[in-house]
């Protein structure tokens, strides 16, 4: 675990293991799959997995996730040996207090290697129970691969995620003779308008693959592509020494354990129909609204800008991590003043909402369990400054007729 010396010695203020109910719950693997997840990395297992588990245990849902990987991985083999159950340990600072909470995830029913069992993926895609398709295939995953049009036509496993998605949707439509119920597609890749971009690529592939116009009509009327913004830091699987510490704390072994920060945000662009369709809308951290630009702007102009402002100043002082900066009296004061007294004044949102978001961000910066290196933040620094900080400078100057005191970097 990435502790500083003080946090290694002291137990967190809030120290919550899985509840008895959560530990003992064994969801029946015979229950139908409702969510098809593309991408088997730690992010979605800690993000989607935690939301679905909460929906099942707190709100009485019966959601099951089938995970699709490109090929069989070591992590999936570990999960298979554990009946696809694993623990997410969320640890960090919440409202100034150190917390550590563990949740046992029982919502995954199977992991499928597309290269080995594509027929099983298509079988799930065609099932009446399927309602959601969620993806995290990295930003490079939502790309147009022209050769996938031929693969879709011939039934060969497509290479790209958009190609796989089109093949699944087309199979769903074909197996129902055009009468299939719709599904909601929620990409979580970190690109602007991720669902709109994915939908556009699907349409290009449809054109190249010469699919029937009736399918396109079904696609337009029954398949919801919802833009999303996700935010949660997931360091992933701990090293062996740290894992042993977690096992001793939990009282059971888990070789697929994942660590994450407590904070989580899933902003989904959609209407009341989308809200009614999603099983986890009652979970804390889920936002469904017609436009999620406010959530994007707050993240870029506060969270991301804070990182960009602190990195060069911290390195100049010989510091290595975000936590080091927040433990430095002068630099931590500088970051807070820059965000609260300058950036906040440039945002046309409810002031209390902005200040509350800044408080949450500062808690996240102070997370003693994360080792977020300043050197990594500085990659592409000039471009990051233009997108994260310069808009606040421009707004501040336009609003007050003077340059801000804190929002600057010398390259």
Q: What is the pLDDT of residues 42-99, one digit of tens each?
A: 999 999 999 999 999 999 999 999 999 999 999 999 999 999 999 999 999 999 999 9
Residue 10 above 60 pLDDT? Answer: no
Q: Write down the pLDDT at residue 19.
A: 52
- Sheet arrangement for strand 97-105: 14-16, 97-105, 86-94, 258-260
Q: Write down the pLDDT at residue 112.
A: 97
Confidence of residue 303 (pLDDT cuts 50, 70, 90): very high
Nearest C-alpha neighbor of 165 from the set 214, 213, 190, 201 = 201
DSSP label of 87: E
Q: Average the pLDDT over 332-341 and give the result.
A: 98
Characterize 381-392 residue by residue with b for buried, 16 or more Cβ atoms within 10 angstroms of its Cβ, and e for exposed.
Answer: eeebbeebbebb
Report the alpha-carbon distance of residue 298 to residue 363 in Å, rounded.
15
Q: How far is CA 386 from CA 231, 263, 313, 382, in A?
A: 21, 26, 17, 6
- Non-local CB neighbours of 76 within 8 Å, separated by 6+ positions: 40, 67, 69, 111, 113
Report the alpha-carbon distance of residue 35 to residue 38 in Å, rounded.
10
Report the alpha-carbon distance of residue 100 to residue 93 in Å, rounded.
9
Asked whether this chain's domains 5-290 and 294-400 adopt the same fold, the reply is no
Instruction: Summarize pLDDT for 206-240 with one digit per residue, the tens.
Output: 999 999 999 999 999 999 999 999 999 999 899 99
Q: Write down the pLDDT at residue 294.
A: 97
Lowest mean pLDDT across 163-167, 288-292, 405-409: 405-409
Residue 25 above 50 pLDDT? Answer: no
Residue 370 above 80 pLDDT? Answer: yes
Query: What CATH code would you report for 294-400?
Result: 1.10.1040.10
Q: Write down the pLDDT at residue 30.
A: 66
Residue 20 above 50 pLDDT? Answer: no
Summary mean pLDDT of the chain = 92
Residue 276 above 70 pLDDT? Answer: yes
Residue 164 above 80 pLDDT? Answer: yes
- Sheet arrangement for strand 65-69: 108-113, 65-69, 35-38, 132-135, 184-187, 224-225
pTM score, whole prediction? 0.90
Q: Write down the pLDDT at residue 3.
A: 36
For residue 294, the number of C-alpha atoms closer than 13 Å in the C-beta half-sphere is 13
Q: Write down the pLDDT at residue 320.
A: 97
Report the alpha-carbon distance of residue 337 to residue 330 in Å, rounded.
11
Instruction: Summarize pLDDT for 253-269 with one digit per residue, the tens.
Output: 999 999 999 999 999 99
Q: Write down the pLDDT at residue 23.
A: 43
| Domain definitions of the chain by residue range | 5-290, 294-400
Q: How far out from the chain centre does Cα 328 lie?
A: 30
Report the alpha-carbon distance of residue 250 to residue 377 in Å, rounded.
33
Confidence of residue 29 (pLDDT cuts 50, 70, 90): low
Report the alpha-carbon distance of residue 145 to residue 119 in Å, rounded.
21
Q: Average the pLDDT over 23-47 and give the result.
A: 80
Architecture of 5-290 per CATH?
Answer: 3-Layer(aba) Sandwich (3.40)
Residue with tokens 């290697």: 113
């Amino acid at each position: 675990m990435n502790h500083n010396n003080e946090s290694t010695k002291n137990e967190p203020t809030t120290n919550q293991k899985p509840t008895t109910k959560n530990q003992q719950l064994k969801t029946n693997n015979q229950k139908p799959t409702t969510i098809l997840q593309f991408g088997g990395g730690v992010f979605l297992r800690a993000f989607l997995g935690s939301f679905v588990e909460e929906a099942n245990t707190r709100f009485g849902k019966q959601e099951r996730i089938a995970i699709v990987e490109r090929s069989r991985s070591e992590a999936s083999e570990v999960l298979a040996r554990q009946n696809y159950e694993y623990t997410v340990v969320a640890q960090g600072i919440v409202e100034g207090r150190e917390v550590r909470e563990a949740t046992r995830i029982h919502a995954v029913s199977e992991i499928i290697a597309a290269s080995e069992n594509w027929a099983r993926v298509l079988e799930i895609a065609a099932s009446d129970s399927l309602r959601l398709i969620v993806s995290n295939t990295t930003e490079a995953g939502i790309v147009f691969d022209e050769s996938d049009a031929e693969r879709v036509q011939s039934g060969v496993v497509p290479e790209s995620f958009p190609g796989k998605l089109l093949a699944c949707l087309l199979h769903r439509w074909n197996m129902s003779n055009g009468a299939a119920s719709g599904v909601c597609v929620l990409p979580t890749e970190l690109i602007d308008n991720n669902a709109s971009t994915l939908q556009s690529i699907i349409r290009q592939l449809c054109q190249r693959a010469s699919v029937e116009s009736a399918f396109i009509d079904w696609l337009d009327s029954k398949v919801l592509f919802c833009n999303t913004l996700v935010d949660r830091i997931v360091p992933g699987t701990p090293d062996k020494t740290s894992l042993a510490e977690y096992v001793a704390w939990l009282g059971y072994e888990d070789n697929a354990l994942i660590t994450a920060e407590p904070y989580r945000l899933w902003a989904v662009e959609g209407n009341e129909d989308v809200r009614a369709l999603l099983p986890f809308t009652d979970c804390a951290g889920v936002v469904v609204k017609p436009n999620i630009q406010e959530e994007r702007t707050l993240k870029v102009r506060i969270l991301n800008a804070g990182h960009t402002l602190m990195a060069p100043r911290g390195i100049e002082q010989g510091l290595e991590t975000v936590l080091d900066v927040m433990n430095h009296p002068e630099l931590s004061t500088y970051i807070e003043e820059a965000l609260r007294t300058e950036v906040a004044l440039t945002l046309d949102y409810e002031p209390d909402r902005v200040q509350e978001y800044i408080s949450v961000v500062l808690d996240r910066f102070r997370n003693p369990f994360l080792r977020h290196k300043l050197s990594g933040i500085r990659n592409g620094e000039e471009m990051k400054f233009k997108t994260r900080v310069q808009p606040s400078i421009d707004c501040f100057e336009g609003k007050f007729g003077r340059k801000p005191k804190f929002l600057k970097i010398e390259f």
